[in-house]
A and B are shown apart, each in its own frame.
Chain A
Protein backbone atom coordinates (compact mmCIF):
# COMPACT_ATOMS: atom_id res chain seq x y z
CA UNK A 1 0.00 0.00 0.00
CA UNK A 2 2.61 2.63 1.04
CA UNK A 3 4.36 4.53 -0.30
CA UNK A 4 1.68 6.27 -2.35
CA UNK A 5 2.61 8.82 -5.01
CA UNK A 6 0.36 11.72 -5.84
CA UNK A 7 0.74 14.87 -7.87
CA UNK A 8 0.26 18.00 -5.76
CA UNK A 9 -0.30 20.40 -8.62
CA UNK A 10 2.01 20.60 -11.63
CA UNK A 11 5.20 21.41 -9.72
CA UNK A 12 5.16 19.04 -6.73
CA UNK A 13 4.80 15.38 -5.96
CA UNK A 14 3.73 13.97 -2.61
CA UNK A 15 5.15 10.66 -1.46
CA UNK A 16 3.02 9.37 1.39
CA UNK A 17 4.50 6.79 3.78
CA UNK A 18 1.64 6.25 6.22
CA UNK A 19 -1.68 7.47 7.50
CA UNK A 20 -0.99 8.08 11.16
CA UNK A 21 1.57 9.92 13.26
CA UNK A 22 4.20 7.32 13.96
CA UNK A 23 7.86 7.66 14.85
CA UNK A 24 9.04 4.99 12.41
CA UNK A 25 7.02 6.39 9.53
CA UNK A 26 8.43 9.83 10.29
CA UNK A 27 12.01 8.48 10.42
CA UNK A 28 11.52 6.98 6.98
CA UNK A 29 10.13 10.32 5.74
CA UNK A 30 13.27 12.14 6.86
CA UNK A 31 15.62 9.47 5.51
CA UNK A 32 14.07 9.71 2.05
CA UNK A 33 13.92 13.52 2.14
CA UNK A 34 17.60 13.74 3.10
CA UNK A 35 18.65 11.24 0.43
CA UNK A 36 16.92 13.27 -2.30
CA UNK A 37 18.33 16.54 -0.98
CA UNK A 38 21.85 15.14 -0.90
CA UNK A 39 21.59 13.87 -4.45
CA UNK A 40 20.39 17.38 -5.47
CA UNK A 41 19.16 16.55 -8.98
CA UNK A 42 19.10 19.65 -11.20
CA UNK A 43 15.30 19.69 -11.45
CA UNK A 44 14.88 19.75 -7.67
CA UNK A 45 13.63 22.98 -6.10
CA UNK A 46 13.17 21.86 -2.53
CA UNK A 47 12.03 19.03 -0.30
CA UNK A 48 9.50 19.40 2.51
CA UNK A 49 9.24 16.48 4.94
CA UNK A 50 6.10 16.34 7.11
CA UNK A 51 4.72 13.82 9.62
CA UNK A 52 3.90 11.14 7.05
CA UNK A 53 4.81 12.57 3.64
CA UNK A 54 7.67 13.97 1.61
CA UNK A 55 6.77 16.77 -0.81
CA UNK A 56 9.20 17.19 -3.65
CA UNK A 57 8.97 20.56 -5.36
CA UNK A 58 10.41 20.31 -8.86
CA UNK A 59 10.83 22.47 -11.94
CA UNK A 60 8.28 21.27 -14.53
CA UNK A 61 10.25 23.07 -17.23
CA UNK A 62 13.10 20.63 -16.63
CA UNK A 63 11.28 17.37 -15.96
CA UNK A 64 7.81 15.92 -16.47
CA UNK A 65 5.67 14.31 -13.79
CA UNK A 66 6.20 10.78 -15.09
CA UNK A 67 9.95 11.37 -15.17
CA UNK A 68 9.90 12.61 -11.57
CA UNK A 69 8.04 9.46 -10.55
CA UNK A 70 10.83 7.34 -12.00
CA UNK A 71 13.59 9.60 -10.71
CA UNK A 72 12.51 9.43 -7.06
CA UNK A 73 12.10 5.64 -6.87
CA UNK A 74 15.78 4.84 -6.18
CA UNK A 75 15.60 7.06 -3.08
CA UNK A 76 12.75 5.17 -1.49
CA UNK A 77 15.09 2.52 -0.15
CA UNK A 78 16.88 5.12 2.01
CA UNK A 79 16.89 3.98 5.61
CA UNK A 80 17.22 6.15 8.72
CA UNK A 81 20.86 6.37 9.69
CA UNK A 82 21.88 5.22 13.12
CA UNK A 83 23.20 8.50 14.38
CA UNK A 84 23.68 9.79 17.85
CA UNK A 85 20.53 11.55 18.99
CA UNK A 86 21.02 15.30 18.75
CA UNK A 87 19.53 16.73 21.92
CA UNK A 88 18.85 20.47 21.93
CA UNK A 89 18.40 22.03 25.34
CA UNK A 90 15.87 24.84 25.42
CA UNK A 91 16.12 26.90 28.62
CA UNK A 92 12.69 28.04 29.79
CA UNK A 93 11.68 30.56 32.46
CA UNK A 94 8.34 29.14 33.59
CA UNK A 95 5.37 31.08 34.95
CA UNK A 96 5.02 34.73 35.94
CA UNK A 97 5.03 37.18 33.07
CA UNK A 98 6.75 34.59 30.89
CA UNK A 99 3.95 32.05 31.25
CA UNK A 100 0.71 33.83 32.15
CA UNK A 101 -1.42 30.69 31.66
CA UNK A 102 0.57 28.26 33.79
CA UNK A 103 -1.84 28.57 36.72
CA UNK A 104 -4.76 27.77 34.44
CA UNK A 105 -2.93 24.70 33.11
CA UNK A 106 -2.23 23.56 36.68
CA UNK A 107 -5.80 24.12 37.83
CA UNK A 108 -7.29 22.51 34.71
CA UNK A 109 -5.27 19.35 35.34
CA UNK A 110 -5.55 19.37 39.14
CA UNK A 111 -1.84 19.97 39.64
CA UNK A 112 0.41 22.53 41.26
CA UNK A 113 2.47 24.92 39.13
CA UNK A 114 5.63 23.11 40.24
CA UNK A 115 4.19 19.81 39.07
CA UNK A 116 3.34 21.29 35.65
CA UNK A 117 6.95 22.50 35.29
CA UNK A 118 8.29 19.10 36.33
CA UNK A 119 6.03 17.17 33.96
CA UNK A 120 6.70 19.53 31.06
CA UNK A 121 10.50 19.60 31.45
CA UNK A 122 10.93 15.86 32.02
CA UNK A 123 10.52 14.16 28.60
CA UNK A 124 12.76 14.13 25.58
CA UNK A 125 10.54 15.51 22.83
CA UNK A 126 11.07 14.38 19.26
CA UNK A 127 10.90 17.01 16.49
CA UNK A 128 8.62 15.44 13.87
CA UNK A 129 8.67 18.33 11.44
CA UNK A 130 8.99 22.08 11.08
CA UNK A 131 6.30 24.08 9.40
CA UNK A 132 3.50 26.58 9.67
CA UNK A 133 5.64 29.59 10.57
CA UNK A 134 9.41 30.07 10.46
CA UNK A 135 11.11 27.83 13.00
CA UNK A 136 7.91 26.29 14.33
CA UNK A 137 8.62 22.73 15.53
CA UNK A 138 5.99 20.02 15.80
CA UNK A 139 7.07 18.06 18.91
CA UNK A 140 5.95 14.62 19.96
CA UNK A 141 5.91 13.13 23.42
CA UNK A 142 4.11 15.48 25.78
CA UNK A 143 2.61 13.90 28.91
CA UNK A 144 -1.17 14.03 28.52
CA UNK A 145 -1.44 14.85 32.21
CA UNK A 146 -0.82 18.52 31.34
CA UNK A 147 -2.92 18.64 28.15
CA UNK A 148 -5.05 21.82 28.09
CA UNK A 149 -7.41 23.22 25.45
CA UNK A 150 -6.43 26.34 23.52
CA UNK A 151 -7.55 29.81 24.52
CA UNK A 152 -11.05 30.58 23.33
CA UNK A 153 -9.82 33.88 22.01
CA UNK A 154 -6.26 33.88 20.66
CA UNK A 155 -3.86 36.59 21.81
CA UNK A 156 -3.04 39.15 19.13
CA UNK A 157 0.64 39.15 20.02
CA UNK A 158 2.66 36.34 21.54
CA UNK A 159 6.33 37.19 22.12
CA UNK A 160 8.96 35.13 20.30
CA UNK A 161 10.22 32.29 22.47
CA UNK A 162 6.93 31.77 24.31
CA UNK A 163 6.43 28.13 25.27
CA UNK A 164 2.89 26.85 25.31
CA UNK A 165 0.47 23.98 25.39
CA UNK A 166 -2.38 23.40 22.93
CA UNK A 167 -4.37 20.25 23.56
CA UNK A 168 -1.87 17.39 23.66
CA UNK A 169 0.75 19.44 21.86
CA UNK A 170 3.57 21.59 23.18
CA UNK A 171 6.12 23.86 21.56
CA UNK A 172 7.34 27.43 21.32
CA UNK A 173 6.64 30.43 19.13
CA UNK A 174 9.87 30.96 17.18
CA UNK A 175 8.73 34.41 16.03
CA UNK A 176 6.29 36.92 17.44
CA UNK A 177 2.82 36.10 16.17
CA UNK A 178 -0.83 35.90 17.15
CA UNK A 179 -1.59 32.66 18.93
CA UNK A 180 -4.06 30.65 20.97
CA UNK A 181 -1.74 28.41 22.95
CA UNK A 182 -1.73 28.40 26.77
CA UNK A 183 1.55 30.08 27.59
CA UNK A 184 3.50 28.45 30.41
CA UNK A 185 6.95 29.98 29.93
CA UNK A 186 9.41 31.55 27.58
CA UNK A 187 12.85 30.71 26.27
CA UNK A 188 15.42 33.51 25.92
CA UNK A 189 17.00 31.69 22.97
CA UNK A 190 16.63 33.12 19.50
CA UNK A 191 15.26 29.86 18.14
CA UNK A 192 14.93 31.22 14.62
CA UNK A 193 17.57 33.53 13.17
CA UNK A 194 17.52 34.20 9.43
CA UNK A 195 21.11 35.45 9.55
CA UNK A 196 22.26 31.96 10.54
CA UNK A 197 22.55 28.86 8.43
CA UNK A 198 20.50 26.82 9.10
CA UNK A 199 18.13 29.51 10.40
CA UNK A 200 16.38 27.27 12.90
CA UNK A 201 17.91 26.02 16.15
CA UNK A 202 16.24 22.63 15.70
CA UNK A 203 15.68 20.44 12.69
CA UNK A 204 13.35 17.56 12.13
CA UNK A 205 14.64 14.41 13.80
CA UNK A 206 16.24 16.28 16.72
CA UNK A 207 15.22 15.81 20.33
CA UNK A 208 14.34 18.69 22.59
CA UNK A 209 14.78 18.99 26.35
CA UNK A 210 13.23 21.92 28.20
CA UNK A 211 15.44 23.11 31.05
CA UNK A 212 13.85 25.33 33.74
CA UNK A 213 15.78 28.54 34.46
CA UNK A 214 15.29 31.55 36.72
CA UNK A 215 14.26 35.05 35.65
CA UNK A 216 17.86 36.29 36.15
CA UNK A 217 19.21 33.56 33.92
CA UNK A 218 16.54 34.39 31.37
CA UNK A 219 17.65 38.00 31.03
CA UNK A 220 21.32 37.05 30.99
CA UNK A 221 20.86 34.70 28.04
CA UNK A 222 18.33 37.04 26.42
CA UNK A 223 20.87 39.87 26.22
CA UNK A 224 23.40 37.62 24.51
CA UNK A 225 20.88 36.28 22.02
CA UNK A 226 18.87 39.31 20.97
CA UNK A 227 20.48 42.46 19.65
CA UNK A 228 18.70 45.71 18.95
CA UNK A 229 15.43 45.60 17.11
CA UNK A 230 15.60 46.50 13.47
CA UNK A 231 13.18 48.54 11.41
CA UNK A 232 14.94 48.98 8.12
CA UNK A 233 12.79 49.16 5.01
CA UNK A 234 14.64 46.24 3.45
Chain B
Protein backbone atom coordinates (compact mmCIF):
# COMPACT_ATOMS: atom_id res chain seq x y z
CA UNK B 1 0.00 0.00 0.00
CA UNK B 2 1.15 3.55 -0.64
CA UNK B 3 0.04 6.73 1.06
CA UNK B 4 -0.17 10.00 -0.83
CA UNK B 5 1.32 12.35 1.72
CA UNK B 6 1.18 15.40 -0.51
CA UNK B 7 -0.56 15.84 -3.86
CA UNK B 8 0.38 19.31 -5.17
CA UNK B 9 -1.31 19.16 -8.58
CA UNK B 10 -3.95 17.29 -10.50
CA UNK B 11 -3.07 13.64 -10.14
CA UNK B 12 -5.19 10.75 -11.41
CA UNK B 13 -4.97 7.04 -12.05
CA UNK B 14 -4.89 6.27 -15.77
CA UNK B 15 -4.38 3.39 -18.15
CA UNK B 16 -4.55 3.46 -21.94
CA UNK B 17 -8.23 4.36 -21.94
CA UNK B 18 -11.77 3.09 -21.95
CA UNK B 19 -12.66 1.81 -25.38
CA UNK B 20 -15.90 0.31 -26.61
CA UNK B 21 -18.32 2.71 -24.93
CA UNK B 22 -18.13 5.84 -27.03
CA UNK B 23 -21.44 4.85 -28.61
CA UNK B 24 -22.95 5.35 -25.15
CA UNK B 25 -21.29 8.74 -24.88
CA UNK B 26 -18.46 7.55 -22.64
CA UNK B 27 -15.15 9.35 -23.32
CA UNK B 28 -12.05 7.24 -23.83
CA UNK B 29 -9.82 9.08 -21.28
CA UNK B 30 -6.51 7.37 -20.52
CA UNK B 31 -2.99 8.79 -20.26
CA UNK B 32 -2.22 12.03 -22.10
CA UNK B 33 1.22 10.82 -23.23
CA UNK B 34 1.10 7.12 -24.00
CA UNK B 35 4.81 6.88 -24.80
CA UNK B 36 6.03 8.20 -21.43
CA UNK B 37 3.42 6.17 -19.56
CA UNK B 38 4.16 2.93 -21.37
CA UNK B 39 7.92 3.36 -20.91
CA UNK B 40 7.42 3.93 -17.17
CA UNK B 41 5.39 0.73 -17.03
CA UNK B 42 8.01 -1.25 -18.97
CA UNK B 43 10.67 -0.12 -16.47
CA UNK B 44 8.87 -1.93 -13.66
CA UNK B 45 8.03 -4.98 -15.74
CA UNK B 46 4.39 -4.08 -16.39
CA UNK B 47 2.31 -4.45 -19.51
CA UNK B 48 1.41 -1.38 -21.59
CA UNK B 49 -2.08 -0.98 -20.19
CA UNK B 50 -1.27 -1.22 -16.47
CA UNK B 51 -2.83 1.58 -14.36
CA UNK B 52 -0.34 4.16 -13.09
CA UNK B 53 -0.26 7.69 -11.68
CA UNK B 54 -0.38 10.71 -13.96
CA UNK B 55 0.45 14.14 -12.53
CA UNK B 56 0.55 17.64 -13.99
CA UNK B 57 3.82 19.62 -13.63
CA UNK B 58 4.38 18.87 -9.95
CA UNK B 59 4.80 15.42 -8.50
CA UNK B 60 3.55 14.03 -5.20
CA UNK B 61 5.19 12.87 -1.99
CA UNK B 62 4.49 9.20 -1.35
CA UNK B 63 5.07 7.03 1.73
CA UNK B 64 5.40 3.31 1.12
CA UNK B 65 3.60 1.04 3.58
CA UNK B 66 4.97 -2.07 1.93
CA UNK B 67 7.83 -2.96 -0.41
CA UNK B 68 7.41 -1.81 -3.99
CA UNK B 69 9.34 -1.23 -7.19
CA UNK B 70 8.58 2.03 -8.93
CA UNK B 71 9.80 4.20 -11.82
CA UNK B 72 9.17 7.84 -12.66
CA UNK B 73 8.53 8.94 -16.23
CA UNK B 74 9.31 12.58 -16.95
CA UNK B 75 12.08 15.17 -16.98
CA UNK B 76 12.21 15.56 -13.21
CA UNK B 77 14.30 15.30 -10.06
CA UNK B 78 13.13 13.12 -7.20
CA UNK B 79 14.36 11.91 -3.84
CA UNK B 80 13.95 8.60 -2.07
CA UNK B 81 14.48 9.11 1.68
CA UNK B 82 16.19 12.38 0.85
CA UNK B 83 18.65 10.82 -1.59
CA UNK B 84 18.41 12.03 -5.20
CA UNK B 85 17.20 9.44 -7.72
CA UNK B 86 16.74 9.52 -11.49
CA UNK B 87 13.68 9.35 -13.65
CA UNK B 88 13.50 6.52 -16.22
CA UNK B 89 15.04 4.10 -13.75
CA UNK B 90 13.38 1.58 -11.48
CA UNK B 91 13.94 1.59 -7.70
CA UNK B 92 13.05 -0.64 -4.80
CA UNK B 93 11.25 1.09 -1.93
CA UNK B 94 10.86 -0.53 1.48
CA UNK B 95 8.14 -0.11 4.07
CA UNK B 96 8.44 3.38 5.56
CA UNK B 97 10.40 4.88 2.65
CA UNK B 98 9.37 8.31 1.40
CA UNK B 99 9.48 9.34 -2.25
CA UNK B 100 9.44 13.05 -3.05
CA UNK B 101 8.84 13.86 -6.69
CA UNK B 102 9.77 17.37 -7.80
CA UNK B 103 8.62 19.65 -10.62
CA UNK B 104 8.89 18.75 -14.30
CA UNK B 105 11.76 20.63 -15.97
CA UNK B 106 10.11 20.15 -19.35
CA UNK B 107 6.82 18.66 -20.46
CA UNK B 108 3.39 18.87 -18.86
CA UNK B 109 2.53 15.36 -17.67
CA UNK B 110 4.60 13.01 -15.54
CA UNK B 111 4.04 9.36 -14.59
CA UNK B 112 4.79 7.06 -11.69
CA UNK B 113 4.50 3.36 -12.38
CA UNK B 114 4.57 0.58 -9.78
CA UNK B 115 5.38 -3.07 -10.40
CA UNK B 116 2.02 -4.84 -10.44
CA UNK B 117 0.19 -1.59 -11.09
CA UNK B 118 -2.28 0.25 -8.91
CA UNK B 119 -5.04 -2.00 -7.69
CA UNK B 120 -8.56 -0.69 -7.99
CA UNK B 121 -11.95 -1.56 -9.43
CA UNK B 122 -12.17 -1.17 -13.18
CA UNK B 123 -15.11 0.83 -14.51
CA UNK B 124 -16.36 -0.34 -17.91
CA UNK B 125 -13.21 -2.33 -18.40
CA UNK B 126 -10.72 0.44 -17.62
CA UNK B 127 -8.93 2.03 -14.68
CA UNK B 128 -8.82 5.45 -16.30
CA UNK B 129 -10.12 8.28 -14.18
CA UNK B 130 -12.77 10.40 -15.84
CA UNK B 131 -13.61 13.02 -13.26
CA UNK B 132 -16.76 14.50 -14.84
CA UNK B 133 -18.61 11.19 -14.61
CA UNK B 134 -17.16 10.22 -11.21
CA UNK B 135 -15.17 7.40 -12.76
CA UNK B 136 -12.57 7.73 -10.04
CA UNK B 137 -11.61 11.22 -8.87
CA UNK B 138 -8.66 13.54 -8.55
CA UNK B 139 -6.36 12.07 -5.91
CA UNK B 140 -5.78 14.10 -2.76
CA UNK B 141 -3.33 14.24 0.10
CA UNK B 142 -4.07 11.48 2.60
CA UNK B 143 -5.38 8.99 0.05
CA UNK B 144 -4.02 5.47 0.20
CA UNK B 145 -3.75 3.16 -2.79
CA UNK B 146 -3.20 -0.56 -2.99
CA UNK B 147 -0.70 -1.99 -5.41
CA UNK B 148 -1.22 -5.07 -7.50
CA UNK B 149 0.73 -8.22 -6.80
CA UNK B 150 4.10 -8.63 -8.50
CA UNK B 151 7.29 -10.51 -7.83
CA UNK B 152 9.67 -7.65 -7.11
CA UNK B 153 13.01 -9.38 -7.53
CA UNK B 154 14.94 -8.41 -10.66
CA UNK B 155 12.56 -5.52 -11.31
CA UNK B 156 14.70 -2.80 -9.74
CA UNK B 157 17.72 -1.18 -11.32
CA UNK B 158 16.31 -1.15 -14.85
CA UNK B 159 17.39 1.87 -16.81
CA UNK B 160 16.01 3.28 -20.01
CA UNK B 161 18.94 3.89 -22.42
CA UNK B 162 19.32 7.66 -22.80
CA UNK B 163 18.77 7.33 -26.56
CA UNK B 164 15.16 6.40 -25.82
CA UNK B 165 14.39 8.91 -23.09
CA UNK B 166 11.53 11.09 -24.39
CA UNK B 167 12.43 14.73 -25.01
CA UNK B 168 9.76 17.32 -24.43
CA UNK B 169 9.80 20.49 -26.44
CA UNK B 170 7.75 23.63 -26.20
CA UNK B 171 7.97 24.17 -29.93
CA UNK B 172 6.90 21.31 -32.14
CA UNK B 173 5.87 20.48 -35.65
CA UNK B 174 2.85 18.23 -35.66
CA UNK B 175 1.62 15.94 -38.45
CA UNK B 176 -2.07 16.28 -39.27
CA UNK B 177 -4.34 14.45 -41.65
CA UNK B 178 -6.65 17.11 -43.08
CA UNK B 179 -10.41 16.63 -42.82
CA UNK B 180 -12.91 15.16 -42.40
CA UNK B 181 -14.73 18.52 -42.74
CA UNK B 182 -12.22 20.44 -44.86
CA UNK B 183 -15.10 21.74 -47.03
CA UNK B 184 -16.14 23.88 -44.05
CA UNK B 185 -12.98 25.95 -44.57
CA UNK B 186 -11.85 28.22 -47.38
CA UNK B 187 -8.64 27.43 -49.21
CA UNK B 188 -7.21 30.50 -47.51
CA UNK B 189 -8.36 29.15 -44.13
CA UNK B 190 -6.51 25.88 -44.64
CA UNK B 191 -3.40 27.82 -45.75
CA UNK B 192 -3.61 29.95 -42.60
CA UNK B 193 -3.83 26.79 -40.50
CA UNK B 194 -0.80 25.16 -42.14
CA UNK B 195 1.41 28.25 -42.36
CA UNK B 196 0.87 29.82 -38.94
CA UNK B 197 2.29 29.09 -35.54
CA UNK B 198 -0.26 28.49 -32.80
CA UNK B 199 0.25 28.94 -29.11
CA UNK B 200 -1.21 26.62 -26.47
CA UNK B 201 -3.30 28.74 -24.09
CA UNK B 202 -3.83 28.37 -20.37
CA UNK B 203 -7.39 27.23 -21.13
CA UNK B 204 -6.13 23.74 -21.80
CA UNK B 205 -6.70 20.53 -19.90
CA UNK B 206 -7.10 16.79 -20.33
CA UNK B 207 -10.16 17.40 -22.48
CA UNK B 208 -8.50 19.64 -25.06
CA UNK B 209 -5.91 22.30 -25.81
CA UNK B 210 -7.19 25.67 -26.98
CA UNK B 211 -4.82 27.42 -29.34
CA UNK B 212 -4.22 31.11 -30.00
CA UNK B 213 -3.07 32.36 -33.39
CA UNK B 214 -4.35 33.63 -36.73
CA UNK B 215 -8.08 32.93 -37.10
CA UNK B 216 -8.94 30.19 -39.61
CA UNK B 217 -11.52 31.25 -42.16
CA UNK B 218 -14.62 29.08 -42.58
CA UNK B 219 -16.31 28.58 -45.94
CA UNK B 220 -19.96 29.50 -46.51
CA UNK B 221 -20.81 26.19 -44.79
CA UNK B 222 -19.77 27.74 -41.50
CA UNK B 223 -18.28 26.43 -38.25
CA UNK B 224 -21.18 24.24 -37.18
CA UNK B 225 -21.82 20.73 -38.44
CA UNK B 226 -24.43 18.12 -37.64
CA UNK B 227 -23.08 16.57 -34.43
CA UNK B 228 -20.41 14.09 -35.44
CA UNK B 229 -17.81 11.85 -33.77
CA UNK B 230 -14.54 13.24 -32.33
CA UNK B 231 -11.48 11.00 -32.71
CA UNK B 232 -8.40 11.60 -30.54
CA UNK B 233 -6.42 14.58 -31.83
CA UNK B 234 -9.33 16.12 -33.75
CA UNK B 235 -8.78 19.80 -34.40
CA UNK B 236 -12.11 21.56 -34.07
CA UNK B 237 -12.45 25.12 -35.26
CA UNK B 238 -15.42 26.97 -33.74
CA UNK B 239 -16.74 30.25 -35.06
CA UNK B 240 -13.88 32.22 -33.47
CA UNK B 241 -11.52 30.57 -35.96
CA UNK B 242 -9.22 29.50 -33.09
CA UNK B 243 -8.45 25.76 -33.18
CA UNK B 244 -8.97 23.34 -30.29
CA UNK B 245 -7.13 20.00 -30.20
CA UNK B 246 -9.29 17.34 -28.61
CA UNK B 247 -7.36 15.05 -26.24
CA UNK B 248 -7.87 12.15 -23.81
CA UNK B 249 -10.97 13.35 -21.94
CA UNK B 250 -12.68 14.76 -25.06
CA UNK B 251 -16.41 14.31 -25.44
CA UNK B 252 -17.31 11.51 -27.86
CA UNK B 253 -19.23 13.74 -30.28
CA UNK B 254 -19.37 17.41 -31.11
CA UNK B 255 -20.76 20.00 -33.45
CA UNK B 256 -17.76 22.04 -34.64
CA UNK B 257 -16.12 21.43 -38.01
CA UNK B 258 -12.84 19.50 -37.83
CA UNK B 259 -10.08 20.84 -40.04
CA UNK B 260 -7.80 17.90 -39.35
CA UNK B 261 -6.76 15.17 -36.95
CA UNK B 262 -3.31 14.97 -35.34
CA UNK B 263 -1.38 11.81 -36.27
CA UNK B 264 -1.40 9.41 -33.32
CA UNK B 265 2.37 9.33 -33.24
CA UNK B 266 2.42 13.08 -32.48
CA UNK B 267 -0.25 13.11 -29.74
CA UNK B 268 2.38 12.86 -26.95
CA UNK B 269 4.21 15.86 -28.42
CA UNK B 270 1.00 17.91 -28.31
CA UNK B 271 0.05 16.71 -24.83
CA UNK B 272 3.48 17.60 -23.40
CA UNK B 273 3.39 21.18 -24.74
CA UNK B 274 2.87 23.67 -21.95
CA UNK B 275 0.64 26.72 -22.11
CA UNK B 276 2.68 29.30 -24.03
CA UNK B 277 4.31 26.55 -26.12
CA UNK B 278 4.08 26.69 -29.89
CA UNK B 279 2.73 24.24 -32.44
CA UNK B 280 3.03 24.22 -36.21
CA UNK B 281 0.97 21.88 -38.32
CA UNK B 282 2.14 19.94 -41.36
CA UNK B 283 -0.29 18.09 -43.62
CA UNK B 284 0.51 14.39 -44.01
CA UNK B 285 -1.16 11.49 -45.74
CA UNK B 286 -2.80 8.71 -43.74
CA UNK B 287 -0.14 6.36 -45.09
CA UNK B 288 2.73 8.54 -43.88
CA UNK B 289 1.18 8.87 -40.42
CA UNK B 290 0.55 5.13 -40.15
CA UNK B 291 4.08 4.34 -41.28
CA UNK B 292 5.49 6.67 -38.60
CA UNK B 293 3.32 4.96 -36.00
CA UNK B 294 4.47 1.50 -37.10
CA UNK B 295 8.10 2.60 -36.79
CA UNK B 296 7.49 3.98 -33.31
CA UNK B 297 5.76 0.80 -32.21
CA UNK B 298 8.66 -1.33 -33.45
CA UNK B 299 10.97 0.78 -31.26
CA UNK B 300 8.59 0.48 -28.30
CA UNK B 301 8.53 -3.31 -28.69
CA UNK B 302 12.33 -3.46 -28.74
CA UNK B 303 12.62 -1.27 -25.64
CA UNK B 304 10.06 -3.40 -23.85
CA UNK B 305 11.93 -6.62 -24.63
CA UNK B 306 15.22 -5.01 -23.60
CA UNK B 307 13.81 -3.91 -20.24
CA UNK B 308 12.28 -7.35 -19.70
CA UNK B 309 15.73 -8.83 -20.22
CA UNK B 310 14.90 -10.55 -23.49
CA UNK B 311 17.25 -8.37 -25.51
CA UNK B 312 20.78 -7.19 -24.78
CA UNK B 313 21.90 -3.74 -25.94
CA UNK B 314 25.29 -2.86 -27.45
CA UNK B 315 26.65 0.55 -28.29
CA UNK B 316 28.40 0.76 -31.64
CA UNK B 317 30.34 3.55 -33.19
CA UNK B 318 30.03 3.55 -36.97
CA UNK B 319 31.77 6.41 -38.81
CA UNK B 320 31.65 8.62 -35.72
CA UNK B 321 27.98 7.91 -35.29
CA UNK B 322 26.83 6.16 -32.12
CA UNK B 323 24.27 3.43 -32.70
CA UNK B 324 22.53 1.05 -30.39
CA UNK B 325 22.14 -2.57 -31.42
CA UNK B 326 20.11 -5.32 -29.80
CA UNK B 327 20.62 -9.06 -29.76
CA UNK B 328 18.43 -11.76 -28.36
CA UNK B 329 19.25 -13.27 -24.97
CA UNK B 330 19.08 -17.05 -24.94
CA UNK B 331 16.99 -17.93 -21.92
CA UNK B 332 18.32 -20.59 -19.58
CA UNK B 333 15.73 -23.25 -18.87
Contacts and interface: CB of A to CB of B under 8 A. Distances in A.
B120 A8 contact: no
Size class of the contact patch on chain A: 35 or more
A51 interface: yes
Interface in B104-132: 118, 120-121, 123-124, 127, 129, 132
B253 A131 contact: yes
B137 A231 contact: yes
Contacts, number: 173
B132 A8 contact: no
A15 to B, nearest CB: 10
A20 B294 contact: no
Given A45-B19, A134-B25, A50 B232 contact: no
Q: Is the interface of B mostly helix, strand, loop or mixed?
A: mixed
Interface residues of B, number: 56
B252 interface: yes
B250 to A, nearest CB: 10
Contacts of B139: 233
A155 interface: no
B232 A48 contact: no
Given A10-B263, A57-B231, A133 B120 contact: no
A86 to B, nearest CB: 15
Given A46-B19, A49-B23, A8 B127 contact: no
B24 A203 contact: yes
Interface string A113-143: 0000000000000000111111110100000
B286 to A, nearest CB: 4
B24 A134 contact: yes
Contacts of A146: none
Contacts of A61: 293-294, 297
Interface of A: 6-12, 14, 16, 19-21, 33, 45-53, 55, 57, 60-61, 64-65, 129-136, 138, 174-175, 177, 192, 194-195, 198-200, 203-204, 230-234
